[in-house]
Structure 1
Amino acid sequence: MSSTTPATAEKRNDGSELNWLMRLLVIIEKAGNKLPHPFWLFLSLAVIVMILSAIFSSTGLNAVNPATDEKVTVTNLFSTESLREIVAGATNNFVTFPPLGLVLIVLIGVAVAEQSGLIPAMLRGTIAGASPKWITFIVALAGTASSIASDASYMIMIPLGGLSFKAVGRNPLLGCLVAYAATSGGYSAAPMVNSLDTILGGLSTSAAQIIDADYTVSPVANFYFNFISMFVVAAAVTLVTELVLSKRADQIELDEETDDDPDNFDVKMALDANEKRGMVIAVISIIVCAALLFALAWPAGSFLRDEAGGFGPESGLMAGIAAIIGFGFFIVGIVYGYATGSIKRTADIPEMMGKGLLPFVPVIVLFFAASQFLALFKMSNLGEIMAIKGAEVFGALNTGPFVILLGGWLLVALGALFLTSGSGLWTLMAPVLVPMFMLLSISPETTQALYRIGDSTTNIISPMSPYFVVVLGFIQRYKRDAGIGTVLSFTIPLSFAMFILWGLLFFIWWATGIPWGPGAATHYQMG
């Protein structure tokens, strides 16, 4: 039943309890809106790097790289030789940009799995029929795992969260917000390698090579940590929801439903017989693919091993992991498509690949600008000098790696409030943080894992996130007068809990020295 009294009370409570935070978010939103589009931001930064290179080159700024004992000076990018190199290398900078090829090869496979209906069916199958007692944890866990569907995960999980809560007699508004928080806040926590891993790994590789030209950060560099993080994030969301937010949700009276609201979401919960059959066949194909990969890797002289017979960074398995994952999604997606009838002819497959890649065209455009910025930044030597000087400052302070990592964690979390693009923010931060931390014996994989926590958990409370508006639109289908204060009153506690618990996991993991992923150590030894 509708009632104006609870709505009025809710508005009053949001205004009084969140008044100071609302003012802060308004400031953040206005400041963020003044930032140019990331494409222009990176091109502008490229120009700024050129200007700074000319200034600092004239002053003789330099530093000694402790890893090589070589003197590093600033290169003037306005010199004739540098300008010639910039013009001649623009195409190569883009084509060889580490994340570009990795992302495309993974996305081609993921596109087939998504367009054939496999990934949406997996997410729906995880939630459908869940016990009322476990519904919060199941929705939260599915949300953290949904990053395999990239940004499409939001459009799948938010309505599914609402419908699943409603199906067990709980407030669907709360279900939408739980799904949103888990999907956005736990975006870097995933059960398998996805496009974000390839992007971050490529950017980390470029940054690490400022110090060590042969260093490579694999797409699976944080796999162990990401997998465990998925359960920690889901647990944090569940605890806060059950202990705090469920009581608040019970006080919110929803609007009367109409044919256009919320039952009319373009999504269904339960899998039909055809989809269940397709899922069974898809699971069998996954087992077959895994068995084939194991059989190929088993022989001592396998092409999937390195020269020493292991599975290190230079092995065929690790060096080609992006292609292997992309091909796996491709095969399983095709199998599911033919089993369910979503693929009827071979011509459907390339059409699905093209359609699935369309949402990532803006990312590829952004890669062009980012690749030029990073190339100039590296050519100028400013990044290496900044890293060396920063490491010297931290070394002189004798603060220890814990304080250094803590500062980096908070810095990323603050930056994510303004720039909610995970790859965009890492493009800016990696060239300084990764080499600086390497000089302090902190591995690039450690820095990248730290970045994931700070970046993901504050996105859900940033008005700069495009999905902040999306979740507001969904909950307004249940309560038409819900506003930004309504969303924040739920997402702030969730963000805080994820930030703290995930951070504790990181520091415990780092302290114990457990590898972040296959061959990914927590510490870096300068050779």
Structure 2
Amino acid sequence: MVSTVSSRPQKGDVEGGRLVRALAGLERVGNLLPHPFWLFLGLGGVILVLSAVLGRAGVSAVSPADGEAVEVVNLLTRDGLHQIITEAVPNFTGFPPLGLIIIVMLGVAIAEYSGLITAAIRAVVSVVSARWLTFALALCGVTGSVASDAIYVVLIPLGAAAFKAVGRSPVLGAIVAFTSASAGYNASLFITGTDAILAGLSTSAAQLIDEGYVVSPVANYFFSMASAIFLAVVVTLVTELLLVKITRGMVEEHNEGDDPTASNSLSEFALDDAEKRGLRWAALSAAAFFAIFLAALLVPGSIFRGDEGVLDSPLLTDVVVPIAILFALAGVIYGIITKSITSLSDIPNMMGKGLVSLAPVLVLFFAAAQFVAYFRWSNIGPIIAISGSDILQRLELPTLVLFAGLVILVAALNFFITSGSAQYALMAPVIVPMFMLLGVAPEVTQMLFRMGDSPTNVISPMSPYFALALGYIQQYHKKAGIGTLLSLTLPVSVAMLVGWFAFFTLWYGIGLPLGPAVPIR
């Protein structure tokens, strides 16, 4: 069949030309950086050398908390070297994000490998009308981080096929799926593994200033949940007002045998009877569990209430356990009904698969844990935080300007370090204590990081999913290149970055809490 596409360069390709050259330079610089594992080990070595140099020079700072002098500790001494060796294992096993992410993943893995998460996404996409398809797909993408990186493999081809089935551009569907899942990765309607990882890193960083400070995995939940809906609206508006025009004429006609979704229709995404029953019972079981959770938390005299009532209840201070149970329960119920779970051994096998997917993260955590420990032992972190906060106080910058500066800094660094957990592990020991000394809670700093981190994922050539998305788009538009993809993702990235911070500014101005018992000021 003859192609309907002109040989002229597409508008998206032309508009993306300059961006291609700029980002190609960024890619070359980023490729010079080592793997985050080696980056953390190398920086750990730098901290050891700095501790020796600065310690001998007598570098110190006065803590504003108690007026005591904080001095750099030389770690390249007999005692320091002994500590490095003997504390290596405790550094790793006691690394705050480690236990949190493992426990959450044990539950999420059952929901994922039983098919519950994929079925829920298919259910949403298949039942909505064509009019609401963009918003529904975007909301699924933003919330899809609950399935971790698997959301990209599931949602991008699903979005392309769903749009094609209702007579719209499959390129547009793939872009909606990719941008919402990637740029909106740090917002979700549900608690995700990212919440657990970032909370652990924030806790570790906050304890450089306050040894008893703990950041809960639900610390940003209220704002994150509202952000998921807001960002889905942003993606929808940019798509319908701008991207529709850019993608017009991008799709080439295929022979039936060449079209990757020639036989696809929305009806093919619909659930069978067993899957529908599984989703219904999984939803009912989740609702029942949540009702029991609230009763145990709120009913006077409950054994699960803390000494001071609700706020120090173990159900909130260690909320990762109820979260893991919730995902596991819903996944088991769904799996039993759909026959994806046929024996008791299937459940631990699914948990094992979930932990296998965590292997790269665990390797990274070992190096990050040593780096954070050296930073803490040397006192370099608190001294940088104290000095930095002094400078910022003298500058007397408005609070929101300070917040915007941090978001922009994170967004810029995300071009080179696309792993959010790796970037936050590097930044948290400095920015969290520094902002604490300025009167900004760690939970707020963590949310600012999240707003800067994910929107630029979709325009970073360092991201492996950038290439994945391009591959899917080329199935429908063979001439698509990096410029094409950038011309489609850049508007969403900018709109999300600016819009999300504006939304936070409104939230901050009203004074709404970020999460349960977490005031924004």
Shift of 1:358: 1.7
Contact 1:189–1:230 (8 Å) recurs in 2 = yes
Distance 1:334 1:382, change over 3 A: same
1:290 corresponds to which letter in structure 2?
Answer: F
Between 353-362 and 449-458, report the one with greater CA deviation.
Answer: 353-362
Pick from 165, 172, 193 the counterpart of residue 191 of structure 2: 193
Q: Which residue matches 1:481?
A: 479
Q: Does 1:376 align with 2:385?
A: no
Residue-by-residue CA offset, 1:174-195 (whole Å, 9 max, x unaligned): 1001100000011111111110
Q: TM-score, normalised by structure 1?
A: 0.96
Pick from 338, 360, 363 the counterpart of residue 361 of structure 2: 363
Any residues of structure 2 matched to 1:92-491 within 5 Å, and which? 92-259=90-257, 261-263=259-261, 269-309=269-309, 311-312=310-311, 314-491=312-489
Residue-by-residue CA offset, 1:453-486 (whole Å, 9 max, x unaligned): 1101001100001100111111111122211111
Contact 1:437–1:447 (8 Å) recurs in 2 = yes
- Consecutive unaligned residues of structure 1, counting only runs of 5 or more, are none
Q: Which residue matches 2:85?
A: 87
Shift of 1:297: 2.5
Any residues of structure 2 matched to 1:496-515 within 5 Å, and which? 496-515=494-513
**3-state DSSP class of the match of 1:478?**
coil
Task: For 1:151 and 1:299, locate their aligned partners in 2 and report how far apart those are by CA, in whole Å.
Answer: 38
1:439 corresponds to which letter in structure 2?
Answer: L
Task: For 1:401 and 1:238, locate their aligned partners in 2 and report how far apart those are by CA, in whole Å.
Answer: 31
Distance 1:295 1:86, change over 3 A: same
**3-state DSSP class of the match of 2:414?**
helix
Identity percentage over the alignment? 47
Residue-by-residue CA offset, 1:9-52 (whole Å, 9 max, x unaligned): 21xx4454223211110111011111101111100010011011
Distance 1:36 1:285, change over 3 A: same
2:446 corresponds to which letter in structure 1?
Answer: Q
2:292 corresponds to which letter in structure 1?
Answer: L
Q: Which residue matches 2:46?
A: 48
Q: Does 1:36 align with 2:34?
A: yes
Residue-by-residue CA offset, 1:139-162 (whole Å, 9 max, x unaligned): 111111111111111111111111
**3-state DSSP class of the match of 1:6?**
coil
Contact 2:404–2:501 (8 Å) recurs in 1 = no
Distance 1:80 1:264, change over 3 A: farther
Shift of 1:4: 7.4
Between 323-332 and 506-515, report the one with greater CA deviation.
Answer: 506-515
**3-state DSSP class of the match of 2:168?**
coil
Contact 1:105–1:326 (8 Å) recurs in 2 = yes
Shift of 1:7: 4.8
Residue-by-residue CA offset, 1:335-369 (whole Å, 9 max, x unaligned): 11001111111111111111122221100111101
Residue-by-residue CA offset, 1:485-526 (whole Å, 9 max, x unaligned): 111110000101111111101112122221100111223xxx
RMSD: 1.6
Shift of 1:253: 3.3
Contact 1:7–1:481 (8 Å) recurs in 2 = no
**3-state DSSP class of the match of 1:63?**
strand
Between 404-413 and 353-362, report the one with greater CA deviation.
Answer: 353-362
Contact 2:15–2:483 (8 Å) recurs in 1 = no
Residue-by-residue CA offset, 1:189-211 (whole Å, 9 max, x unaligned): 11111100000000000111111
Distance 1:393 1:378, change over 3 A: same
Task: For 1:257 and 1:59, locate their aligned partners in 2 and report how far apart those are by CA, in whole Å.
Answer: 74
Shift of 1:304: 2.5
Contact 2:138–2:232 (8 Å) recurs in 1 = yes
1:171 corresponds to which letter in structure 2?
Answer: S
Q: Which residue matches 2:56?
A: 58
Residue-by-residue CA offset, 1:160-181 (whole Å, 9 max, x unaligned): 1111111111001110011000
Task: For 2:421 and 2:262, locate their aligned partners in 1 and report how far apart those are by CA, in whole Å.
Answer: 34
Task: For 2:56 and 2:263, locate their aligned partners in 1 and report how far apart those are by CA, in whole Å.
Answer: 62
Q: Which residue matches 2:65?
A: 67
Task: For 2:398 and 2:385, locate their aligned partners in 1 and report how far apart those are by CA, in whole Å.
Answer: 16
2:151 corresponds to which letter in structure 1?
Answer: S
Task: For 2:384 and 2:259, locate their aligned partners in 1 and report how far apart those are by CA, in whole Å.
Answer: 54
